[in-house]
Amino acid sequence: MKKEIIFSLMALSVAAAGAQTVYDATAIAQKELNGTARFVGMGGAMGALGGDISTIGTNPAGIGIYRSNDAMLTLGYSVIGTESNYLGQTAEQNKYRWGLDNAGVVISNKIGNHTALRYLNFGFNYHKTKSLYKNMTMQGMMGAFDNEFLSQTHSMAQQGTASAFDYGRDDLFYNNNAGWLSGLGYQGWLTGKDEETANSYFSYIPDEAFGYYGARERGGIDQYDFNISFNVNDRFYFGFTVGAYDVDYYKNSLWSESYGTDEGYDVNSYNRIHGTGIDAKFGVIFRPIETSPLRIGLSVHTPTFYQLTYTTGARLISDVLMEREENGQVTTAMERYDVNTLDYLDGRDMDRDFELCTPWVFNASLGYTVGNYLALGAEYEYEDYSSMKFNYPDGGEMMWETGEADLCMKGVSTLRLGAEYKPIPAFSMRLGYNYSSSAFKEDAIKALPSNSINTDTDFANTNSMNTFTLGIGYRGSLLYADLAYKYDMYKSDFYPFYNEMGDYLVTPEATKVTNSRSKVMLTVGVRF
């Protein structure tokens, strides 16, 4: 992977040490198809059809379709698979997980048969917006560019040069001008200082690097929606939802390089992002022709305003051949260095607070019914991830991170299709499909500010996602049950780091990663 440098990646300095990246923010901002088994079985394409509590988070007017009270609970079982292929070397990781995907209630209040306002409804729904469970590994030779070996140690040296900081100081992990990755490298004798140029650093790579990467991600985002909706003349439906979000995401990663000289190092990085967010959603459903079953839905979601904390720590262990002179004799011996941020920070991790503003979301949908036995839905959604904004807790803009969103991200289009067929009134069969385009530009990279406290340099540019769903359902006079199966699949190009080589940004060959998720969901509920 080779890209011309058209701007200085590392020169920008900010008031406080940088932490989060656009890759972290996108993982939080993007949502996945989840909710009741009926909603998932129809691919979520119910924005204009309504009548399911999960529409509370896509088109709030869908709650206005209700004419009775409803309470439900959804459980899910997931198999998350990751298969990586780097230069023909494949690795596969799977994760199995049970979860509570949805719990909600709708209270429907009939106003009258002849009044303009027919129903006033209220809804509350909890659901898992995003599950971030994932394991991944890859390994192989990192290669070279222009007769120079590729290595993460180049990233360490270029960050040190950009920050122009003296990494020999003991307080480097407290100092807002110091980059942690370069500090680890210098203290571990993986980089050195050019004595002829003030605070300029070079990397020490004795041979082509064999790299190993392993990561374990956990956590997710919980969403709590509160809704009020209106049915006007059984033809116009309006809804308003306030959403509250709880974020808790962990990532533990290891990057290891070993060389033919038996030298090498490991960097263990621990990251956590946690906090809360809030947004609002407005929606309308209407029948343009009173006697027609065609419905049109429109909705808009404000950005989600997150207040988040980034918590991080790192440890580097290096084995380096060192020359020692004693009594006029020069000897060479393997030395081990152990650099742990906890040792510098009194046994604790570093916290950095920040604010994230996600994109606006615009949604348009169509719904059509044929008698009481067939329902068809289609939905289009758009959000521009290049518009994400980052701010410090005091309200000041984080220019580096906001600028990276504009450089690396783009708009995402999502198409949802769904159908429900009832061969008999009490039994339903459902099919659904989703397509979402990629949020990353082709040449997106994970660039760290010169004073970043990030020590994980890996990043993955995801491609488009396809989701296939099917489901069945039973409706009794009081109780109902729905079962759905969902299969998500998307591919991504993974890179453990990038190096700045003259006028180019260079990475090792892309690791081709196939990400998949199979999920079975069961909803049980009562309408009364």
Q: Count of CB atoms within 10 A of residue 63's CB?
A: 34
User: Residue 485, Cα to own-chain centre: how many angstroms?
Assistant: 22
> Rounded distance, CA 132 to CA 97, Å?
11
User: Does the pLDDT value for residue 298 go beyond 90?
Assistant: yes
Nearest partner of 269 among 199, 316, 202, 319, judged by Cα: 316
pLDDT in the model for residue 360: 97
User: Does the pLDDT value for residue 516 go beyond 70?
Assistant: yes
Number of domains comprising the chain: 1
Angle, helices 152-163/180-187, rounded to nearest 10 degrees: 110
pLDDT in the model for residue 269: 96
User: Does the pLDDT value for residue 213 go beyond 60?
Assistant: yes
Nearest partner of 9 among 194, 174, 154, 207, judged by Cα: 154
At residue 458's C-alpha, the angle toward residues 452 and 461, to 5°, is 115
Cβ atoms of 366 and 467 within 8 Å: the answer is: no
Could you tell me the two tokens for 120? 């006033």
pLDDT in the model for residue 8: 37
Q: What are the tens digits of pLDDT across the range 89-107? A: 999 888 899 999 999 999 9
Angle, helices 399-408/22-29, rounded to nearest 10 degrees: 70
pLDDT in the model for residue 16: 56
Average of per-residue pLDDT across 297-325: 93
State the average pLDDT for the chain. Answer: 91
Average of per-residue pLDDT across 215-235: 96
Average of per-residue pLDDT across 72-76: 96
User: Does the pLDDT value for residue 4 go beyond 50?
Assistant: no
Share of the chain above pLDDT 90, in %: 78
pTM for the whole thing? 0.89
User: Does the pLDDT value for residue 19 go beyond 70?
Assistant: no
pLDDT in the model for residue 416: 98
Cβ atoms of 219 and 27 within 8 Å: the answer is: no
> Rounded distance, CA 350 to CA 354, Å?
13
Could you tell me the two tokens for 100? 């509570």
Between 168 and 126, where is the model more confident? 126
User: Does the pLDDT value for residue 220 go beyond 90?
Assistant: yes
User: Does the pLDDT value for residue 140 go beyond 90?
Assistant: yes
Q: Rounded to 5 degrees, what are φ and ψ at 91? A: -145, 145
> Rounded distance, CA 118 to CA 111, Å?
5
User: Does the pLDDT value for residue 11 go beyond 70?
Assistant: no
Segment among 198-212, 232-246, 265-279, 484-498 with least mean pLDDT = 198-212
Nearest partner of 154 among 167, 145, 165, judged by Cα: 145
User: Does the pLDDT value for residue 334 go beyond 90?
Assistant: no
Bridge partner list, 497 = none
Q: Residue 112: helix, strand or coil by DSSP?
A: coil
At residue 513's C-alpha, the angle toward residues 512 and 517, to 5°, is 160
User: Does the pLDDT value for residue 363 go beyond 70?
Assistant: yes
User: Residue 44, Cα to own-chain centre: how many angstroms?
Assistant: 20
At residue 109's C-alpha, the angle toward residues 107 and 113, to 5°, is 150
Q: Count of CB atoms within 10 A of residue 138's CB?
A: 24
Q: Domain containing 396: what range?
A: 2-527
Pairing of strands 89-110, 305-326: unpaired
Question: Which DSSP category does 396 fall into?
Answer: -
Residues ≥6 apart with Cβ < 8 Å to 347: none
Cβ atoms of 448 and 471 within 8 Å: the answer is: no
The residue assigned the tokens 């920050």 is 163
The terminus-to-terminus CA distance of the chain in angstroms comes to: 60
Cβ atoms of 176 and 196 within 8 Å: the answer is: no
CATH of the domain at 294: 2.40.160.60
Average of per-residue pLDDT across 302-313: 96
Average of per-residue pLDDT across 12-33: 76
What is the secondary structure of 9-28 as a DSSP string? Answer: SS----SS-----HHHHHHH
User: Does the pLDDT value for residue 395 go beyond 90?
Assistant: no
Bridge partner list, 409 = 440
User: Does the pLDDT value for residue 10 go beyond 80?
Assistant: no
Cβ atoms of 53 and 72 within 8 Å: the answer is: yes
User: Does the pLDDT value for residue 137 go beyond 60?
Assistant: yes
Average of per-residue pLDDT across 140-160: 93
pLDDT in the model for residue 17: 57
